[in-house]
Structure 1
Amino acid sequence: MKAGWETKPLGEIIQLEYGKPLDASQRKSDGLYPVYGANGEKDRSDTFFYDKPSIIVGRKGSAGEVNLTEARFWPLDVTYFVTFDETRFDLQFLYHLLSHLELPKLAKGVKPGINRNEVYAIDVATPRLPEQQRIVTILDEAFAGIAMARAAAEQNRQNARAFFESHLQSVFSQRGEGWMEVTVGQLVRDGVIAKPQDGNHGEIHPTKADYVEVGIPFLMAADLLGGRVDTKGCRFISEQQARSLRIGFSVDQDVLLSHKGTIGRVAILETDQEFVMLTPQVTYYRVLKKSEISNHYLYFYFHSPKFRNQIEHVAGAGSTRAYIGITKQLDLKILLPPIAIQQQLAVQLKALQDESRHLESLYMRKLTALDELKQSLLHQAFSGNL
């Protein structure tokens, strides 16, 4: 630690003042002053509670989150706001210091909250005011550069995904010779696919109490990730219980579609097990006549904007929670070219999807590296090494 730095409890540097409730009648979206909740600005009001710039620290809910305020603001009762001796400390320095301390780790309880006495007890090292201001200048300049680089990486990540999605839109907007539009129900009646099926509903549905450490994968919508099925990190039920169930047995190469709560996640099941079990959130689509339909084509068609618009419309009709029952799924329309074209498109789309995911992965790693750089700079700053 450099000379001139002093270590003391945070409670000797700042005070965390309680925010106050604000009646709904005093809130207005076009108000003059910001109203802060635990994780940032929540509303506006023509009334303010504190007339200096400060720092909001989430007290309940998004406990420990840190935000800078405008000059006049209203802090809600789920927050603390910071007061301090302005002759000895710089506001921006204290903001960076509190951000560096990772206060959310102090949160406790079912509705996470932080106790200000625990915050006060943290020992921190601070230099004199001129050195604080020098550090702030360096951090602000560096963080501005990081923010620009991060925005560019995020845009590039989105562009990589958008390129693949735009190609899907283009492919499935056309109709060549031999293309036809059929319903899922027609494919079932013609024996091309099995009747789609989800997991057991009602009293027979396995519950949390039935989960075991090792057993048969019990797949929920959340287990369909990036076109793949997570059969390792999912829930499990015993084989004995699984075999006692009536429906929901999914097998290798089934196309899985989430249809309840989280609508439209798609994956192809790859497993060496005899079967896995589905919850009522997931439907399997099983190809019976491979000479007429490719499961990989079906997988990509389910990703297309054309199909997604269809299921979102059906899922949202007359329901407060997104859901498409099996009966409604039978009415969904699928655009089918001849099998040779299906197979060709599946190969082409797989190559594009792999490239898109590779680019997304590269940009995600860059975003992670930029976040790590920011934390490294904060660590250096508050270790006296900047």
Structure 2
Amino acid sequence: MTTDNLPKKWIKTKLGTLIELKYGKSLAAHSRDGIGFDVFGSNGVVGKHSTALVNTHGLIVGRKGSHGVVNKSIAPFFPIDTTYYVDEFHQQPINFWFYYLTLLPLTRLNRSTAIPGLNRDDAYDLDIMLPSINEQKIIADKLDDLLARVENIKTRLENIPEILKKFRQSVLSAAVSGELTEEWRKENESPFDLWKSGILNDFIQKPSYGSSSKSQSEGEIPVLRMGNLQRGEIDWTDLVYTSDPKEIEKYTLASGDVLFNRTNSPELVGKTSIYRGERNAIYAGYLIRVKVKDSLNSDFLNYHLNSPQAKEYCLSVKSDGVSQSNINAKKLSEYPIAVPPYSEQLEIVNKLESFFHYIDNLEKKSTNAILYINSLSQSILAKAFRGELTAQWREENPDLISGINSAEALLEKITAEKLATGTVKKRAKKSIH
């Protein structure tokens, strides 16, 4: 943050002229005092203590570990020795300093080669731009309002992926139950009783398990594993390989093969993806390959096995180990399924692809919006401490930033108080204008 262009009636000074960072005390030396006030480390509350060093609102700054991270307390706290606590606000609004310290590059002030640490003399030497105390209050109020709005928007955006996930499942459920194509059937005079009910085994060839041989980090073709099955498609990252000709001959996949994850954690067992022949590959032993008969469309099956109905079935038939669940080929083959005429299967697939394309676009937009919102807070802080948020206020209130209300008068008052108490630092004296 540059201090070259000062807003009207702001002054340039050093951080050490305005606040003092005091060391926290050793937690071990006081841990036997019983419960009482919150004890703060650089990442939040870590215990209790019976005596508070700061008895009202206060700020703590990480000194070791997460150095430079600023936390705000509205309760009494006793900071431990991995933190500083900020003292002597001199009636300046604490929110102003919380936001200012959040913006300052404290986390980049690190002299340690092992555990990251903040040297307070380095912090004291930072150049800052100081407004009057009245403008500080206006800035703090504006930031309270604006950043609360940003946080509210961020919370709403972060809820979107879960909403879209539920929507995706709802659409899948409607698809495999026939609800999604109800109007299509009326228009095409294709009654629902044309759907054939049975078990999966009636519509597929004999399912087969994948290779149990050890894969390599390099090789001729990829070996698809459970981690490569993502949201119904093959994820071609984090691959392992094989060059064994016998393995390749036996387990090579064909376009349209459906891969079922037979062993995984209880919530992930049964996830399914379709192989579309993007590149030659075989499949590993924790997967089951399913080849469809002519009456069943492989895309329709892939969607069906990812539906809420399929997840419910998997939960009911899985066998549980210590940390993993298993669904064997026999149980998979017994999955109850209703299959519509092939033309309706294609209509369902087309509708689902359209829906999911729309959902994917929404997810991308929400992800981009979250990235923008995450940067917006810093942008607002930067504008605030360049004086941009209060430019009009300064023009409308010249008496509140001049004379005894000026930043110069505030700095003189703080310096006088420090001199009177003997706490003024030599470096601070040099930086006073």
- Please say whether Structure 1 and Structure 2 have the same fold, judged by a TM-score greater than 0.5: yes
1:13 and 1:81, CA in 2 relative to 1: closer, same or farther beyond 3 A? closer
The aligned residue for residue 209 of structure 2 is 197
The aligned residue for residue 229 of structure 1 is 234
Partners of 1:19 and 1:80 within 8 A in 2: no
What code does the residue aligned with 2:27 have?
K
The aligned residue for residue 340 of structure 2 is 338
Partners of 2:224 and 2:281 within 8 A in 1: no
Aligned counterpart in structure 1 of residue 274 of structure 2, from 268, 289, 293: 268
1:137 and 1:119, CA in 2 relative to 1: closer, same or farther beyond 3 A? farther
For the aligned residue pairs, the C-alpha RMSD in angstroms reads: 4.6
1:49 and 1:254, CA in 2 relative to 1: closer, same or farther beyond 3 A? farther
Aligned counterpart in structure 2 of residue 85 of structure 1, from 78, 88, 112: 88
The aligned residue for residue 384 of structure 2 is 381
Partners of 2:39 and 2:77 within 8 A in 1: yes
Q: Which runs of 5+ in 2 are unaligned?
A: 180-191, 390-433
Partners of 2:12 and 2:129 within 8 A in 1: yes
Q: SS where residue 169 of structure 1 aligns?
A: helix
Partners of 1:16 and 1:80 within 8 A in 2: yes
Partners of 1:10 and 1:119 within 8 A in 2: no
1:9 and 1:167, CA in 2 relative to 1: closer, same or farther beyond 3 A? same
Q: Which runs of 5+ in 1 are unaligned?
A: none
Higher RCO structure (Cα 8 Å, ≥6 apart): 2
Partners of 1:252 and 1:269 within 8 A in 2: yes
Aligned counterpart in structure 1 of residue 174 of structure 2, from 140, 146, 170: 170
The aligned residue for residue 12 of structure 2 is 5
Between 1:82-91 and 1:356-365, the stretch displaced more is: 82-91
CA distance, structure 2, for counterparts of residue 74 and residue 310 of structure 1: 54
Partners of 1:33 and 1:47 within 8 A in 2: yes
1:381 and 1:350, CA in 2 relative to 1: closer, same or farther beyond 3 A? same
Q: CA deviation at 1:82?
A: 2.9
Aligned counterpart in structure 1 of residue 24 of structure 2, from 5, 17, 24: 17
Alignment length, in residue pairs? 359
1:367 and 1:336, CA in 2 relative to 1: closer, same or farther beyond 3 A? same
* TM-score with structure 2 setting the length: 0.64
Partners of 1:107 and 1:113 within 8 A in 2: no
Q: SS where residue 11 of structure 2 aligns?
A: coil
Q: SS where residue 116 of structure 2 aligns?
A: coil
What does 1:203-282 correspond to in 2, within 5 Å?
A: 204-206=213-215, 210-212=216-218, 216-231=221-236, 233-237=237-241, 239-240=242-243, 249-258=252-261, 259-261=263-265, 263=268, 265-278=271-284
The aligned residue for residue 417 of structure 2 is none
What code does the residue aligned with 1:192 have?
I
What code does the residue aligned with 1:205 have?
K
Partners of 2:67 and 2:117 within 8 A in 1: no
1:68 and 1:314, CA in 2 relative to 1: closer, same or farther beyond 3 A? farther
CA distance, structure 1, for counterparts of residue 117 and residue 136 of structure 2: 27
CA distance, structure 2, for counterparts of residue 96 and residue 347 of structure 1: 51
1:284 and 1:47, CA in 2 relative to 1: closer, same or farther beyond 3 A? farther
* TM-score with structure 1 setting the length: 0.71
Q: CA deviation at 1:218?
A: 4.7
Question: For 1:184-238, what per-residue CA distance to the aligned partner results, in whole angstroms no more than 9, with x for missing partners?
Answer: xxx2xx68245243453xxx533xxx424x864454544444443332x32343x
Aligned counterpart in structure 1 of residue 368 of structure 2, from 362, 365, 385: 365
1:74 and 1:167, CA in 2 relative to 1: closer, same or farther beyond 3 A? farther
CA distance, structure 2, for counterparts of residue 313 and residue 243 of structure 1: 37
1:303 and 2:306 are equivalent in the alignment: yes
Question: For 1:50-104, what per-residue CA distance to the aligned partner results, in whole angstroms no more than 9, with x for missing partners?
Answer: 6443445667887766543331357688x63633322176432343344435777
1:249 and 1:87, CA in 2 relative to 1: closer, same or farther beyond 3 A? farther
Partners of 2:203 and 2:296 within 8 A in 1: no
1:16 and 1:246, CA in 2 relative to 1: closer, same or farther beyond 3 A? farther
What code does the residue aligned with 1:335 have?
I
Q: SS where residue 272 of structure 1 aligns?
A: coil
CA distance, structure 1, for counterparts of residue 357 and residue 324 of structure 2: 30
1:245 and 1:150, CA in 2 relative to 1: closer, same or farther beyond 3 A? same
What code does the residue aligned with 1:304 have?
S
